[in-house]
Structure 1
Amino acid sequence: MTASANALNRFLASSKPSATFGVMDRVAARRAQGVDVISLSAGEPDFDTPEHIREAGIAAIRNGHTLYTQVAGVRALREAVARKFQNENGLDVDWRRTIVCSGGKQVIFNALAATLNVGDEVVIPAPFWVSYPEIVQLCGGQSVLVECGVQSGFKLTPELLESAITPRTRWLILNSPSNPTGAVYSRTELQALAEVLLSHPQVMVLSDDIYEHLVFDGLTFFTLAQVEPRLRERVLTMNGVSKAYAMTGWRIGFGSGPAWLIDAMEKLQGQQTSGASSISQYAALAALSGPQDFIRKSRSVFQHRRDYLVAQLNSTDGLRCDVPQGAFYAFASCEALIGKLTPLGQRLNSDEDVVNGMLDLAGVATVHGSAFGLGPYIRIAYALDSAALERACRAIRQFCESLSN
């Protein structure tokens, strides 16, 4: 018998590659050909990792911290994670109920892989981060996608949550601030969702707080287990250093939850990666324990960019964008562009066509909203310097003006 694609795991065979990384690959290929492309597709800060964190990584190498660590992470980092949850989120966390993984994505994967059986359901508000449904599928579960449109600020409501829960529901994934919309749940909104969840004790909650420190306009960030302590034994609170400290490549995520779940995730990780990079762990320790001024400064820069971008988008014919409250994404409606013709005579039949046309004709890379579960929108990441952002906005405007009916 010859091995072929038929030999693939059936869950993997039916899964889709990441749409965001697909766009990033196209950008890299064009740049390799000498084409000038402005990328508004990457979900990572454009700043360098702060120097004291980089130096901590170098020191870890020089001091010989280059061997295996405990599977769930070095104790000093897990203690720092527990302090972070205590001091910033009001969660009474023991370091033994924390886990450190190779990025936030692995925290999510480990939790779902450790708990889902075939046929189990996971409620995911849409728009959603592109990897949520794919991870659910890879773990044998079934995603229940709940459309949350602009009328609700792209946020899940208690009524929508109640209608989505069945006896087979195992998890709810909640992301605030949101990728791709930048929506932020208030304390009141989280409490209303909590009231529904209290009536369904079989439902766990994965609270993805990775953009926690990127909240604008003086808003206060809240996480579900903080708002409703009665749910703490059913909530995995996930975070990491990638977005807050510009450390996407260091690959460190962490989480805290009920002891049985953390133990199961550690057991899985022990047979999977054996733990996160030792060097990256010591850099993450410096991030959590050292100066925090980088967060305040980067948040101010991102808010300034957001204000500029949203103003430019709303002054461009065919685009409409509400003001996002957090993260570094704008989620702009391109509904008015659907059906129009490009100068090359190509008709834009979908938001994916809009994104492709914008890349081909304007040299600007974005990601289509339908990849995140809601179209016709485009996601624009404003994690790039002001000069490049201004050039991108001009190119987007020119592209929209070049279209005809």
Structure 2
Amino acid sequence: MLHQFTFSNFKSFKKTTTLDLIAASITEHAQDLANDCFDEKVLKVSAIFGANASGKSNVVKAFDFMRNNVLLSFFRSNDLDQDIETSNLTLDPFKFDNSIEPSDFEVLFSVDENIYNYGFSIDVDRIREEFLYVRDKKSKKEKFTNIFYRTGNDVEEVTGELKSVSNILKISKILGSRTLFLSFAANLEIPIARTVYEWFISSKVMDYGQDTSERLILNKRASPLVRLLQDDKQKLALENFVKAIDLGIEGFSLIENEILTPSGADTRYQVVSTHKNIDDGSLVAVPLHNESSGTKKMISLYIPISRALQEGSVLFVDELDAKLHPLLLRYLLILFHSNESNPKNAQLIFATHDVFSLDKSNFRRDEIWFVDKNDQGISDLYSLDSYLLEENGTTKKVRKDASYGKDYILGRYKSVPKLKSLMEE
């Protein structure tokens, strides 16, 4: 489970910014929380709202940048699915000043019975700093034990099974200035490094604003949807899902085609959906690409969502509400909040414009986040639970019975477009 994600100097975010999934001391929707290995409360859902170009997508992109660098800095990708965007390996720091500060990325997360704190500091040329800590189980207070600490290309303060790797590096000097030590050690199959590395593998990032995620999943040549439909159990689960959300689809099937290529015969598959004939009840096959964009969006969403729920992993989604009816978005929130459908405590973190769902019946106040950009182009991320309203010279927190969506549209929480008339401009 992800507890906190902290970053700085990335795209529109200049200062240190933290997306905090550790539950606040508030009373609403207590049943929607998960317990970590230290029996502390963690959120299963976080929604990020904001105006166009405010920077809410940059929160998702910041985690994607960190994940891709962990997984790809050693240039070995045989463990990875095809959803890794290698284009997100180039650092994009805040551009609208003259500072030359590095960019920082840090996660606090739990795997099995341990809580880890991992992070690195990077500039356009090299890794400046890197560290990994594990929380001390014997201490009642929040105390962390060092696993390794790196400055430049020197790995110091190394403990346990990573000592042998650091000794190799001291002799050989083969650690590249842009290669993360964690990625290097994980690819040498050092267990504790593999544990952290595999957490990043299981954590997925999807972008539905540009249709790239949808095209990848529905691609005929290398589609995870084809692999899913070849498994009878998973195929049935998908068919039950599309029936539950009323897409009008009765089932799916695969049409196998043999294609001749210069290297020989190649098997390609076409996915078809089946619908009922309204006159005689017979099934009519329709190529999946002929379905509506909303239907294809839900089918493409099903694969990462079902995987996250099955594995108890983290799923970041940008523009989750694109082509999605608000009631379907609410259905997805219920899937992640429910202990029955989400017994392994998977987490959904998404950027959205869907004000219809911004309601106290769907969210706790600490699950709602806003991004606001000031006149200098600097983005700020803050939760509804921490936001202070100013009224009559005093400040107060937002009440749990407030009309979140209505108040947001009225600008009470900032993070909305600052519109001017064309004549005024």
Q: Give me the TM-score of the superposition, normalised by structure 2.
A: 0.27
Q: Choose between structure 1 and 2 for higher RCO, CA contacts under 8 A separated by at least 6 residues.
A: 1
**Structure (1/2) with the larger helix percentage:** 1
The structure having more radius of gyration, on CA atoms, is 2
